[in-house]
Amino acid sequence: MSVFDLGARLLRQLPAETAHQATLALAGALRPLLPARTADDPRLAVKAFGFNFPNPIGLAAGFDKNADVPDAMAKFGFGFVECGTVTPRPQEGNPRPRLFRLTQDQAVINRMGFNNGGMEAAAENLKARKGRGIVGINIGANKDSADRIADYALCFERLAPLADYVTVNVSSPNTPGLRGLQNKDELARLLGTLTQARARHGFKPLLLKIAPDLDASAMDDIADVVRASGIEGLIVSNTTIARPPLNSPHRGESGGLSGKPLLAPSTHVLAQMHQRLAGAVTLVGVGGVASGADAYAKICAGASLVQLYSALAFQGPGLVARIKRELLACLARDGLANVTEAIGRKN
């Protein structure tokens, strides 16, 4: 067990949000002391959005909301890091407690509510970066906004020049009414506004993050809008409001469920969107990834890239290296030369 995994075990003795804040502080303090990341096996390399990703394993949004430590997290072996969700104005989020570990279920429930320091704080942090890894920024709207689409446009214009790609988060269950932006007309208007904004301010890849709680008709509508919009990527998926059978004491808490119970439903939606979009955009699979086999399942369902977050709370940062080793073993078992050959192969 590495010193970092031991530290993660100790942090799990703290309340969930306190442990998260301590992790961010430690990552920031230790960044200069962390060794430079080692080169990844070339079989893990992926080309997407005009970038050469050294491996397909990324850190999902939610961990580093204000872009405080993307360079530190990259040193743990992530192929890319996504920061946010960021709103135009600073936002406290929902009352505490709002983050719950479901240890028996290897799951997390959160109702954070887009707590963040606002786009200006994130912009300053992104400008101060010293690393060269691939970093995306995830944008949202303030809870009390009178015009949520305008909020997304503001964040895009401020933050897109400072990040490698921008993710549009319309799928958090913790901002009332936000998921309504996944409706066909509203989504078309939102993505049209953002593609027009980038035409004025310079190209950056645009990704849309959707919910796992979608029926076939909603998936059809989203696929139609995404294909027509000209955006580059789709992230499948955010947390779920569904409640499969759970065993942990916090199972009755409200909010979005992530972790192991989300693996199967999010991978199902991923495969469905891969069928509908047929290569029109690049897919990113997220939800329940805790092993190389989980990552491989996402890739075989159509994802070019994979993200994780909740599993870190239970397994520590050494998980990233383990997933990459296990992913290579999956490729070797199936006689594949590289990750790209696995994309969509079992869909």
Residues tagged active-site = 172
CB-CB contact of 152 with 119 (8 Å): no
| Terminal Cα-to-Cα distance of the chain (whole angstroms) | 36
**Burial label, 188 (beta-carbon count in 10 A; 0-12, 13-18, 19+):** middle
- 233 SS3 class: strand
CA distance linking residue 323 with residue 326, whole number of Å: 5
CB-CB contact of 263 with 243 (8 Å): no
Residue 97: is the preceding peptide bond cis (ω within 30°)? yes
Rounded to 5°, angle at Cα 230 from 166 and 191: 60
CA distance linking residue 24 with residue 11, whole number of Å: 11
CA distance linking residue 250 with residue 133, whole number of Å: 36
| Backbone angles phi and psi of 149, in degrees to 5 | -65, -40
The pair of structure tokens assigned to 192 is 């049209």
Task: Identify the residue whose tokens are 């998926």.
Answer: 237
Concatenated DSSP letters of 45-77: -EEETTEEESSSEEEPTTSSTTSSSHHHHHTTT
CA distance linking residue 294 with residue 292, whole number of Å: 5
Count of alpha carbons within 13 angstroms of residue 327, beta-carbon side: 34
The pair of structure tokens assigned to 205 is 């890849």
